[in-house]
Structure 1
């Protein structure tokens, strides 16, 4: 399977730069796999496609203000550090720009010395292991000095950093938002519960590996970075019960999907557990856990586009994306949504 098989043409002006005023007012493209139809709705209409006895699975990870701007000790050169993966209390795997200024032993000063990082190892390309020195609570310092790590295609300044969090974000640890969940309001979630639809929480801390461009022409040569996930007893029980009772499992986002598909057995049953996943889902994959998916519109040639192409078909998804471009849908993180059933 070639990388070029997942290319589509996207006009720059369709890349959403700002979130809508009201989360659930975004548009919703509904793909019915059985009937091969496409419908154009608004996100608040999603409730009419969910049935009593179904289960929505949401990723309750919380984005940390992981982008730090500092200066190199001695030279004052500007250096950007993006926190990717916590290794222990003081040590993180990071992405450093420019990497050439961050050799082993280099020290980076943030906030006039409130936080100091020392590069202790080089992983690959721009990735560095950085050990931090600080007084007090790291999370509080990060909250003060850090910025939200918006994707590079978003060039506008985010006025309200909570708009890059889901309304149910709880467990800190992500370098990027699980963006399919950004469309939900608390009121819509309450309506969904009232209709008899269960909501199960899982956690997958989104790393930038999810968004890394695929560089290999043959997609099978691409290796996913690992991300940490947690499924607790309550979530496993809710999902398993739904399955046994004939309800559908609708994953909110590719991150929830990857979590469930990592853990599910051949019958789609789950167990409470935690660990690291580097699962790569592309066409030909047989889904075990999910019956439907709520997702955003993804970058051309991305692993996320490959995942949705595995759920329906590459041809059908690319056809739907062509329609989305014609209908002027908004794309990527702050863009519109798609429901595949």
Structure 2
């Protein structure tokens, strides 16, 4: 497959900049892979397509306030710092992106907060944009982390072109977020409300959790036409014993297994064994899924409507079939579905 096969025209006004009023009231497009039939519903009707003992797999990562704004020493130039991950808690070392990158050199100090209460020193240039910062903070680690996160804001994707609002920290987070580490929300999971999870429980649908700390690699531009030459950024993930037990039991009983989001799909396809069963996995994945690809675990998938030329769209096409999904996207644009993390969803069965 070539990069150009995932191009489509997306009007700016269809990119959702705010979430639906209620999580489970987004629109839901249902795509049947066998028949090619496409239907239009609301998200809360999703359970009509599942039965007792079917399984939903969610990503329970927690997004942290990763975007900070600071000033460079001497010049006072405004610098955006995007926290990616903590490298060493004792030394207060963080892997970050800085913008504009050209202004930042090793040895530069950056100041954060109205009273410059947080100071960081650039100690390494790892890539053209990436840096390692050492935060100069003397207190206990918990106190440092709180002070750092108080300065940060919710890392909304750049395509949500507006200031962060007071409800974003809650809405750009799933209700089952538990393990901190993501800078990108697992968007498909944002549609699930407490009421919907309660209805799943009543209906007897089983719930399992993977943990995938989604990173900015999801939004990185692909600069090669031949997709086999693209390298995905690695993301930390955990598939634990409980998830393995629930999913393998469902597989053996020929129940439906629904992957909620591309991050979950990547995780379970990373942790699958040659006999089609899951095995526990605690590590990193840079698995890049694009058509053609043979899936072995999930029988269905929930995902949002993604940007043109994105790796997320490519995985969706791998699962639903390239032509069918691209036709569905054409319909979505015509029917004015909302795209992006705060947008509408599709269920591929």
Q: Does the aligned pair in 1 maintain the 2:30–2:40 contact within 8 Å? A: yes
> What's the counterpart of residue 45 of structure 1?
45
Aligned to 2:109: 107
SS in structure 2 opposite 1:308? helix
Please report how far the alpha carbon of residue 143 of structure 1 lies from its aligned counterpart in structure 2 after TM superposition.
2.8
SS in 1 for 2:249: helix
4+ runs deviating over 4 angstroms: none
| Residue 286 (structure 1) aligned with residue 294 (structure 2) | yes
User: Is the Cα contact below 8 Å between 1:114 and 1:141 reproduced in 2?
Assistant: no
* TM-score computed with the length of structure 2 as normaliser: 0.95
Distance 1:11 1:275 in 2: 38
1:90-105 correspondence runs (5 A): 90-105=92-107
1:17-75 deviation per Cα after TM superposition (whole angstroms, max 9, x unaligned): 10111011100000011111000000000010112121100000010000011111222
Q: Tell me the equivalent position of 1:249.
A: 257
| Aligned counterparts of 2:304 and 2:214: Cα–Cα separation in 1 | 15
Matches within 5 A, 1:1-341: 1-89=1-89, 90-111=92-113, 112-134=115-137, 135-136=139-140, 137-157=143-163, 158-160=165-167, 161-341=169-349
TM-score, length of structure 1 as denominator length = 0.97
CA distance in 2, matches of 1:206, 1:114: 29
Residue correspondences, number: 341
SS in 2 for 1:281: coil
- Measure, in 2, the Cα distance between the counterparts of 1:9 and 1:220: 24
CA distance, structure 1, for counterparts of residue 329 and residue 300 of structure 2: 18
CA distance in 2, matches of 1:96, 1:138: 20
**Alpha carbons 1:18, 1:156 under 8 Å: kept:** no
Q: Is the 8 A contact 1:85 1:93 kept in 2?
A: yes
Q: Which 10-residue stretch deviates more, 199-208 or 141-150? A: 141-150
In the alignment, structure 2 segments of 5+ residues that lack a partner are none
What secondary structure sits across from 1:113 in the alignment?
Answer: coil
Q: Distance in 1 between matches of 2:315 and 2:81?
A: 29
